[in-house]
Amino acid sequence: PPGPAVAFVLRLGQALHRHGTPAHRLEGLMQRVSERLGLEARFFSTPTSIFASFGPPEDLRTSLIRVEPGDFDLERLILLDILADDVIQGRLTPTEGATRVEAILARPPRYGPALQLLCWMLAGASAALLFGGGWKEMGVAAVSSLAIGGLDLLTRKQPTTARVLEPVAAVLSAAFAGIAAHFFGPLHGEVATLAGLIVLLPGLTLTIAVNEVATRNLISGTSRLTHAALVFLQLGFGAALGSRVATVLPPVPTPPLPTVMPPGTAVVALVVAGFAIAVLFRARPRDWGWIALAGAAAFMGARLGALLLGPQLGAFAGALLLGMGSNALARLRNRPAVTTVVPGLMLLVPGSVGFRSLASLLERDVVAGVDTAFSMLMVAVALAAGLLSANAIMPSRKVL
């Protein structure tokens, strides 16, 4: 096969994988580019590798690429999608396209550490409000999330320390909640702890895993499921360890129910959460409004559906509304639907349910823990079914 075309396809696939593209979308885009470039190719993606074979079956040239899973970078995904279109349409040669891929990967981060830390705080505070907390829970969650965000920035380039981020973050969040309850009066510790960990909860990974299994990418999907389960266990262990801080302090009164917030604060929290998620996922500023609108529509649709149909069907309704709206917007703007789908899913994913399941199991409430875990899995299945249904009803012109 032609060397420059193969080199471009491989570099494009590696870059897309590094920034969070699911297996079914990655393989689909690489297959589409290969066909347009006249290549006979086959691809197989897992969360840590890409296998690519070029040529007829009797004379294959196979490449193995090891990839370290990275964070979502929506701006780079959009630029890579535009680059793939330019090569397919002949505006760039494959050699120029391969060089452009490296230039996109070498771009400096759009948002600096200060803005990222601010968005960690805003994400924690808005999550506490959406989970039913009051001002105290919002303050504790904001401080916890700020500390965890700083720890994430410090350990991002150190693989040995980055691997223990989740349990250490859970220890910090639970410890802050216990200390705040002692010094600032009773508060709902579970809400404060959960909201402080909102960015690290693997609910999005769980939903992507179920989606991959549903699209017959079994190895990639089961691998992500295992990873999500491990992260849940690490967070649960860390939270249990951090909650022991409260036992060495003098006892405090039993926490009351969270303070009822004024009407309309949930809408403000949704807007703030949409902005924070857009920055943390490195979306372009021109997409912030669309992301906030998609997230708010999905969240409100899921809440309304849960009131009418139950939590599982409510999640299905929210994902269906999000997917159809994102695909319609992608057709109008000629941009990938992932720009609004991924941030919108962050407000629907069942990460908080999984965390509560682990908390119940650690407290030896096995029945409640298993019941909550089953609910989490059903919500993830409902989200995947909603997205698949949206793609069938309102297909997007883009693979991503």
pLDDT in tens, the chain (400 residues): 568 889 999 999 999 998 888 888 888 889 999 998 888 999 999 888 999 999 888 888 888 888 887 778 888 988 998 898 899 888 889 899 999 999 998 888 888 899 999 999 998 888 888 777 788 888 888 999 999 999 888 887 777 777 788 888 888 888 888 888 877 777 777 788 888 888 888 777 877 888 888 888 888 888 888 888 888 888 878 887 887 776 776 665 555 555 556 656 777 887 888 888 888 888 888 888 888 888 777 877 777 777 777 767 777 888 888 888 888 888 888 888 888 888 887 777 654 554 555 555 555 565 566 666 667 777 777 878 888 888 888 877 676 6
**Residues 6+ away with beta carbon under 8 Å from 241:** 167, 170, 171, 174
Return the biggest CA–CA distance within the chain.
74
Both tokens assigned to 18: 């590094």
97: tokens are 């396209």
pLDDT at 109: 82
Place of tokens 């912030």: 288
Q: Can you give the pLDDT at residue 100?
A: 92
Sheet arrangement for strand 41-46:
41-46, 49-54, 61-66
Residue that is written with structure tokens 């050699």 in the block: 95
Structure tokens at 239: 């939270």
Q: What's this model's pTM, rounded to 2 decimal places?
A: 0.84
Encoded tokens for 178: 């216990």
Residue 62, φ and ψ in degrees, nearest 5: -115, 140
Distances (CA, A) of 326 to 79, 198, 285: 18, 23, 17
**Which pLDDT does position 372 carry in this prediction?**
67
Task: Give me the residues paired with residue 54 across strands.
Answer: 41, 61
Q: Please name every residue paired with 62 in a beta bridge, in sequence order, or none if there are none.
A: 53
Helices of type H across the chain:
3-18, 23-36, 74-88, 94-105, 113-130, 135-155, 159-162, 165-183, 189-196, 203-214, 218-242, 265-280, 288-309, 311-333, 338-346, 351-362, 366-393
pLDDT of residue 350: 57
The full set of domain ranges for the chain reads 4-106
Q: In sequence order, what are the residues at sequence separation of 6 or more whose Cβ sits closer than 8 angstroms to the Cβ of residue 300?
A: 270
Distance CA 336, CA 330 (A): 6
* DSSP per-residue codes, 284-348: -GGGHHHHHHHHHHHHHHHHHHHHHH-HHHHHHHHHHHHHHHHHHHHHHHTS-THHHHHHHHHTT
pLDDT at 364: 56
Q: Which residues pair with 44 in a beta bridge?
A: 51
76, 8 contact by CB (below 8 A):
no
Rounded Cα distance between 62 and 10, Å, is 11
Region of 69 please: left (phi>0), alpha (psi -120 to 50) or beta: beta
Provide the β-strand partners of residue 42. 53
The residue assigned the tokens 């890409």 is 50
**How many residues in the chain?**
400
Query: Hey, how many other C-beta atoms are within 10 angstroms of the C-beta on 324?
Result: 19
**Six-digit token string for 346:** 């962050």
The HSE-up count of residue 258 (CA atoms within 13 Å, CB side) is 19
Q: What is the C-alpha separation between 53 and 29, in angstroms, rounded?
A: 15
Tokens of 219: 């190895």
Q: β-strand 49-54 against 61-66: which pairing, if any? A: antiparallel
DSSP-derived secondary structure for 348-379: T-THHHHHHHHHHHHTT-HHHHHHHHHHHHHH
Tokens of 232: 């849940």
Q: Is the C-alpha dihedral spanning 169, 164, 379, 27 positive or negative?
A: positive
SS3 111: coil
